[in-house]
Amino acid sequence: MARDHAEAAAAPDHTERPVDPEEMSRRQFLGVISGALGALGAVLVGIPFVSFLLAPLINQPPGTWISVGAVDSFKLGETVAVAYEDPYSLPYAGVSAKTSAWLRRFLKDGKDTFQVFAVNCTHLGCPVQWVPDGEIFMCPCHGGVYYSDGQVAAGPPPHPLPTYQVRIDKGQVQLLTQPIQLGGQAEGAQQ
């Protein structure tokens, strides 16, 4: 019997004690704060994912004319990369909003002409490189090759390189930007 009494004294007390109303309200307050902070964190993490998923559904603005340099800064017969900020990028895109295009100045029917090609391969969007010795565009990712006029020469690209509309305004070469479309033609793009 002494042994039963000793075991009872050593056993933890599982009887319910009355809960203090102040302690309960403090516990509820901390639970509400924890839930609110968790929900805020989930929203902040989820915004980029939701905007990525909804971006194709949102009406894109019409093309924007972007100046890429003075007419005199481009030599006749050369193909050069021109850099610009993509007007279709999202506000948090950072450095990925910077893009480029390939610009060529040449004579066509005795007239000074500019042609601008998209920098992205129509296969999977890798940036193509201009190879001046061969006068071709090459995609380093999967071996796509384009002739100097943007037509597919070899490899997996399904379409020619898209071209941008070009104009001269107040001595500046401008291109009409368009959203990047992979595996197909961008709306308003020319071939």
The pLDDT tens digits for 21-72 are: 566 678 888 888 999 999 999 999 988 888 777 766 665 566 788 888 888 8
CA distance 73 to 91: 31
Q: Give residue-wise pLDDT tens across range 118-172.
A: 888 888 888 899 998 888 999 988 888 999 888 998 888 888 998 889 998 888 8
Q: How much is the CA Rg of the chain, to the nearest whole Å?
A: 31
Burial (CB count <10 Å: 0-12, 13-18, 19+), residue 116 = buried
Which contiguous run of DSSP H or E holds residue 118?
A: strand 111-118
Question: Is this structure's pTM higher than 0.85?
Answer: no
